[in-house]
Amino acid sequence: MGRRIWPLLLALLLAGCAAPEEPCRRELEAMDTYMVLTVYGPRAGEAAGQGEALLRELEARLSVTEEDSEIYRANHSGGEPVPLSEDTARLLAQALALCESTEGALDVTIYPVVRSWGFTTGAFRVPEEAELARLLERVDYTRVRLEGDSLTLPEGVELDLGAVAKGWAGDRLTELFRSLGITSAIVELGGNVQAMGTRPDGEPWRVAVQAPEGGYAAALEVADKAVVTSGGYQRYFQQDGKTYCHIIDPAAGRPAESGLASVTVVADRGVRADGLSTALFVMGRERAEAYWREHGDFELIFLGEDGGAAVTEGLEDCFTLYGEWEDRPLEIVRR
Ligand code: ADP
Ligand code: MG
């Protein structure tokens, strides 16, 4: 049966160095996940409070299941244009660009398929081949029409921004904090970590990467980065001895089976890291490496189902395997 393990990544605040001031730490559940905001500075309390309100607002706008959300209304528009808020339109435009650049490995119209596997309701099932073929006819991000803030979805096409929403939320939180003069904060939104600035003592943030079997596999030192993991172990169900994960390969309509246990993307922006982590998990290691060589504005951590680990060369000096994974060989992927 379905099981969720969170948080995937845990921001480890190194003990021992007294912070200039105490952080404000706020835990909440939103967007179907457990979140922790840790903010430093004189206006930390205010920032955390406004941050929570922002997350609630994003959840209310972007949810696929809440009947008042913009996405729900678009999905039930019967082919008529619907107005979007400026913020949702910006997110959708960026998500569509990622769908195109990943050649549909990310596809924001995958929702009918995700639902038929039961990932939205928890009523898990393995759909018949014929049903999947029928549903896949409705999956095609190129049919989404976004003109300014006006969205038109052809009848039957439904959006799900679940693969990018938390990354977007991380970016929006960072902007909000910056506008309040905050220079040091770290937010964990389920498998997404957004590290703003450095720790208050000027040292990099240490972010832990979860091991697929539980516990932690690695630690990463970063400043001003989003660190986002997509893993087959995050949300899945088992039937007849087979495991089905919540990330769907849009080419097949079936859970991705690429040999990866997880892929972590380290990028400047949360929305890019989030969209890519989902897409590169679908692509598998070989295609993901090719995509990295072609684009190169982000770095990757691969944990294989075979227990192997690899990182792209930009992380060579800030990444260490950890715990049970400490003695395993680490492959460095070069350009
Ligand atoms: P999580 O939200 O669990 O951190 P992801 O960012 O990888 O993980 O997003 C997975 C979610 O995105 C799924 O729960 C589903 O709603 C949706 N999804 C699954 N496969 C795809 C895909 N290929 N393209 C776009 N969205 C997807
Ligand atoms: Mg994602």
Q: For residue 11, is pLDDT > 60?
A: no
pLDDT given for residue 202 in this prediction: 97
CA of 142 to the centre of ligand 2 (A): 19
pLDDT digits (tens, 9 = 90+) for 290-315: 999 999 899 999 999 999 999 999 99
pTM of the shown model: 0.93
pLDDT of residue 17 exceeding 90: no
Do the beta carbons of residue 74 and residue 159 sit within 8 Å?
A: yes
How many angstroms separate the alpha carbon of residue 16 from the centre of ligand 2? Answer: 34
Q: Per residue in 34-84, pLDDT tens? A: 999 999 999 999 999 999 999 999 999 999 999 999 999 999 999 999 999
Tell me the CA–centroid distance for residue 244 and ligand 2, in Å: 17
CA-to-CA separations, 22 to 185, 199, 203, in angstroms, rounded: 12, 12, 16
Q: Which of 261, 272, 277, 251 minimizes the C-alpha distance to 113?
A: 251
Please identify, by atom number, the ligand 1 atom nearest to the C-alpha of residue 230: 7
Residue of 278, 280, 282, 287 with the most ligand 1 atoms within 8 Å of its CB, for mutation = 278
Ligand 1, closest atom to CA 160?
A: 16
pLDDT (0 to 100) of residue 20: 54
Q: Nearest Cα to 311, choosing from 193, 328, 212, 198?
A: 328
Strand partners, 219: 208, 320
Does residue 122 surpass a pLDDT of 80? Answer: yes
Q: Which residues make up the environment of ion ligand 2, defined by Cβ < 5 Å?
A: 163, 274, 277-278
For the packed helices 86-101 and 270-283, what is the interaxial angle rounded to 10 degrees?
Answer: 30
In angstroms, the CA 306 to CA 118 distance is 28
Among candidate residues 294, 295, 330, the one with its CA nearest the CA of residue 315: 330
Q: What tokens appear for 268 in the block?
A: 């400047």
Question: Any idea which residue has 């998500």 for tokens?
Answer: 95
